Amino acid sequence: SETKKLLILPGDGIGPEIMREVARIMAWMSRVRGINFDITEDLVGGASLAVHGVPIRQEVIDEARAADAVLFGSVGDPKWASAGFDLRPEIAILKLRQELGLFANLRPAKVFDALADASTLKPEVVRGLDIMIVRETVGGIYFGNPRGIETLPDGSRRGINTEVYSTSEIERVARVAFDLARKRDNRVCSVEKCNVMESGLLWKEVVTDLHAREYADVQLTHMLADNCAMQLVRNPRQFDVIVTGNLFGDLLSDLASMLTGSLGMLPSATLGAVDADGRRPALYEPIHGSAPDIAGKGQANPLAQILSFAMLLRYSFNMLEDAEMIETAVANVLASGLRTPDIMSPGMAVVGTEVMGEAVVREL
Amino acid sequence: SETKKLLILPGDGIGPEIMREVARIMAWMSRVRGINFDITEDLVGGASLAVHGVPIRQEVIDEARAADAVLFGSVGDPKWASAGFDLRPEIAILKLRQELGLFANLRPAKVFDALADASTLKPEVVRGLDIMIVRETVGGIYFGNPRGIETLPDGSRRGINTEVYSTSEIERVARVAFDLARKRDNRVCSVEKCNVMESGLLWKEVVTDLHAREYADVQLTHMLADNCAMQLVRNPRQFDVIVTGNLFGDLLSDLASMLTGSLGMLPSATLGAVDADGRRPALYEPIHGSAPDIAGKGQANPLAQILSFAMLLRYSFNMLEDAEMIETAVANVLASGLRTPDIMSPGMAVVGTEVMGEAVVREL
Ligand SMILES: CC(C)[C@H](C(=O)O)[C@@H](O)C(=O)O
Ligand SMILES: CC(C)[C@H](C(=O)O)[C@@H](O)C(=O)O
């Protein structure tokens, strides 16, 4: 098979330093397993604003389109906090999602055995937790029109955003959820606010219809978003796959992540549609942010970035064996007691970004 | 002072049976303290649908307007689950909010000392928790236009809802939050998604301006809604007052409630604007639902309904002493070891709705 094209976008804050630990793993793959990638690297977020004056250039979007997969670090930089709505570093990720049609964000919330105590929830509530949230990411209120702030004749202002979901947008993301469920515990919970929003009512109907037509073997339940927020705290292990819209998914996936107590461990994938040539655009990123407060100090946890790379190998390159090797290496390093400061607990050995990355390579 | 007018709307499920325990307390107030109310009672939700074919009649809204305060039970009945969008029992509460202009929902999330173990969170994370969420309730995506489901020429459909917030809507609810903060720990956290929504951007600007103009003595911070969902799990005690829009408030207040582990204990108030005569429309309700699964079994916890009544005495009738007496009685009954099944824990005595209500009266 030909060499896979990888676009690497480290971004801001701790992005570049944790991405270096992925490079270490790629070097190992090349050296030991003879696997090489065709790598392009570019700037996004505050890093791009500083050099090019925009959070993402058209060239970068074109590079992303040409790549077989994108490995993303994180964006966000206090320096650009007041740059204005159109110059937010976040634009980088929003544009990539929309221009590449990355509509399905896969957000696993998984508790690692070695880290069950890291949660603020009681260990008996979260031990073994393994939820997959599938969040729609190119529709809903993030992108709907009309939007903006208008000034009325009396000088007062109105802020407006529009939530829109179409049959096909709902169907394609529900399909991703059902397909994933079949490889897991075969249960999907669809989440909306159909009791107050018509877009939620349509969401529920479309998911129900699709289920009856094509996925009757999967167990489907429906839940209101407010209740889902409660149930994630009350008894998170009741869930297998959750599928929901862009805005609810934003809150609920972050909430679910925090249940694990170790954000520094959690990867994510955002997938587009398979095209005529069988190619599927995809972006992988840790769920944590750019953590400007610890950037450059060598303390950041590189494991979520490394696990995002493993997810990339699995979903985009079908390199299941390599993905699993990396995941096992990470679990073993944790079991051996190494901890970056964010996941430190009594009796463990605190290490920095590099030592953690090296330990994973040693395990490999 | 003249007799206060109270409208009582028990609603569905456990609503009527827990409301009877409030009646017990009112009987005590009349007997012992000589305080009487002018009480009207009516149907809402499924109970109204069954008799009148609508979830709430115009008469009931007029009664609510004429009353000095409304004490609400809960609505929601599986019998009406497929009644259609315009016949949902929930319409009752949505109409009351909108027609009476009940724009500020006050949702305390408080951990009772005796119940700190009831939470799924570690006791050291939630002990002493005392958050007040102020949620906007007559604007935002719940009521904005255009809304609905439209069918396109190709037969596909689109669900649409519109989030709209105006300067004055944001200002008046922020004012409620700042005023409350001054009587508490003097800190307000304003929550939106200004990084993706212009309505959130306006929200942040308006709250910031109002703060600078009139509330500079209160500490104001801003937080994105997804981060707030995380922070509520990570370290909920960092918050004093949270102010946010209708939809975020719906999820975040339910999430915050669940942190306490005892939904059956939590009251809420929804306040309107003070009119020219100094009257302020207000509705009080427990935050739990109608719990159809245990309705009629005499097992429901009446304490949230009783505490909602105490909140009513405090906010609407300025009867601070009576409110405090009831709250103290509830705390003492809990300390004495009585528990309804929902808050039962080892070593305590499980009791039903009536025994719990009687115990509160005995304490009084
Ligand atoms: C960066 C930001 C625009 C983004 C979002 O709100 O979607 C982030 O919170 C996420 O969840 O990926
Ligand atoms: C009953 C329903 C319409 C309501 C809402 O979503 O606002 C409820 O969840 C609440 O929070 O009071």
The pLDDT tens digits of the residues spanning B29-38 come to 999 999 999 9
Residue B167 has a CB neighbour count (10 Å cut-off) of 22
Query: Do A256 and A268 belong to one domain?
Result: no
CB within 8 Å: B122 and A120: yes
Mean of pLDDT over chain A: 96
Q: Could you give the CA distance from residue B61 to residue B9 in angstroms, rounded to a whole number? A: 11
**Ligand 2 centroid to residue A317 C-alpha, Å:** 44
> Which residues, in sequence order, are CB contacts of A124 under 8 Å at separation 6+?
none
Confidence (pLDDT) at A214: 98
Rounded average pLDDT over B104-113 = 94
Whose C-alpha lies nearest to ligand 1, atom 10? A250
- Which is the closest atom of ligand 1 to the Cα of A137? 7
| pLDDT beyond 80 at A1 | no
> Which residues, in sequence order, are CB contacts of B124 under 8 Å at separation 6+?
none
Give catalytic status of residue A204 as yes or no.
no
- Asked whether residue A156 is assigned to any structural domain, the reply reads yes
Task: Give the mutation target among A94, A135, A248, A263 for probing the ligand 1 site: most ligand atoms within 8 A of CB.
Answer: A94
Query: Do A125 and A76 belong to one domain?
Result: no
- Among the bound ligands, name the one nearest to the CA of residue A247: 1
Chain centre to alpha carbon of residue B281: 14
Torsion angle (degrees, nearest 10) of CA A283, A287, A290, A293:
-170
Confidence (pLDDT) at A80: 86
> Which residues, in sequence order, are CB contacts of A73 under 8 Å at separation 6+?
A9, A10, A11, A12, A14, A15, A16, A18, A19, A285, A286, A290, A305
Out of B246, B263, B280, a domain closes at: B263
CB within 8 Å: B161 and A120: no
Q: Which residue has the tokens 């809402």?
A: B44
Nearest CA to CA, how far is A185 from chain B (Å)? Answer: 24
Confidence (pLDDT) at B143: 96
Whose C-alpha lies nearest to ligand 2, atom 5? B250
DSSP A119: S
Rounded average pLDDT over B292-308 = 96
Ramachandran quadrant class, A140 (left: phi over 0; alpha: psi -120 to 50; beta: rest): left
| pLDDT beyond 70 at B102 | yes
Contacts of B263 in chain A (CB under 8 A): 230
Name the pLDDT band for A171 (thresholds 50, 70, 90). Answer: very high
Confidence (pLDDT) at A2: 80
CB within 8 Å: A251 and B254: no
A298 burial level (CB within 10 Å; 0-12, 13-18, 19+): middle
Query: Do A142 and A177 belong to one domain?
Result: yes
Spell out the SS3 assignment of B164-212. Answer: EEEHHHHHHHHHHHHHHHHCCCCEEEEEECCCCCHHHHHHHHHHHHHHH
Mean of pLDDT over chain B: 96
| pLDDT beyond 90 at A353 | yes
Nearest residue, CB atoms, A255 vs list B120, B193, B233: B233
Binding site annotation covers A294?
yes
Q: Which residue has the tokens 């909430």?
A: A255
Q: Could you give the CA distance from residue A21 to residue A16 in angstroms, rounded to a whole number? A: 9
Rounded average pLDDT over A170-194 = 98
CATH code at B163? 3.40.718.10
Contacts of A153 in chain B (CB under 8 A): none
Confidence (pLDDT) at B345: 87
Query: Do B154 and B71 belong to one domain?
Result: no
- Which is the closest atom of ligand 1 to the Cα of A94? 3
- Asked whether residue A115 is assigned to any structural domain, the reply reads no
Rounded average pLDDT over A27-39 = 96
CA–CA–CA angle A270, B234, B131 (5° rounding): 120
CA within 13 Å, CB half, B114: 18
- Among the bound ligands, name the one nearest to the CA of residue B192: 1
Confidence (pLDDT) at B182: 98
Confidence (pLDDT) at B80: 86
- Asked whether residue A147 is assigned to any structural domain, the reply reads yes
Q: Which of B152, B167, B244 to mutate to test the interface with A (most CBs of A within 10 A)?
A: B167
Q: Which of A182, A91, A100 is nearest to A142 (CA)?
A: A91
CA within 13 Å, CB half, B244: 26
The domain containing residue A106 runs over which residues?
1-110+262-364
Query: Do A247 and A285 belong to one domain?
Result: no
Rounded average pLDDT over B62-75 = 97
pLDDT tens string B45-55: 999 999 999 99
Extract the tokens encoding A32.
Answer: 């030991």
Query: Do B120 and B225 belong to one domain?
Result: yes
Query: Do B256 and B130 belong to one domain?
Result: yes
Extract the tokens encoding A172.
Answer: 């394609």
Rounded average pLDDT over B137-143 = 97
Query: Do A256 and A124 belong to one domain?
Result: yes
Rounded average pLDDT over B317-337 = 95
**Ligand 1 centroid to residue B66 C-alpha, Å:** 46
Out of A260, A283, A316, a domain closes at: A260
Contacts of A165 in chain B (CB under 8 A): 158-159
Query: Do A188 and A63 belong to one domain?
Result: no
Q: Which of B303, B310, B271, B273 is nearest to B287 (CA)?
A: B303
**Ligand 1 centroid to residue B274 C-alpha, Å:** 39
Q: Which of A333, A335, A342, A265 is nearest to A304 (CA)?
A: A265
Query: Do A10 and A94 belong to one domain?
Result: yes
Query: Do B184 and B131 belong to one domain?
Result: yes
Rounded average pLDDT over B221-249 = 98
Rounded average pLDDT over B152-167 = 97
Rounded average pLDDT over B225-235 = 97
Tally of structural domains, chain A: 2
Confidence (pLDDT) at B1: 59
- Asked whether residue A146 is assigned to any structural domain, the reply reads yes
Contacts of A248 in chain B (CB under 8 A): 251
CB within 8 Å: B162 and A163: yes
- Among the bound ligands, name the one nearest to the CA of residue B98: 2
Q: Which is the catalytic residue, given B4, B95, B110, B193?
A: B193
**Ligand 1 centroid to residue A296 C-alpha, Å:** 23
Out of A230, A260, A290, a domain closes at: A260
Query: Do B88 and B212 belong to one domain?
Result: no
pLDDT tens string A275-304: 998 899 999 999 999 999 999 999 999 999
| pLDDT beyond 70 at B70 | yes
Q: Which is the catalytic residue, given A250, A284, A322, A342?
A: A250
Rounded average pLDDT over B146-155 = 96
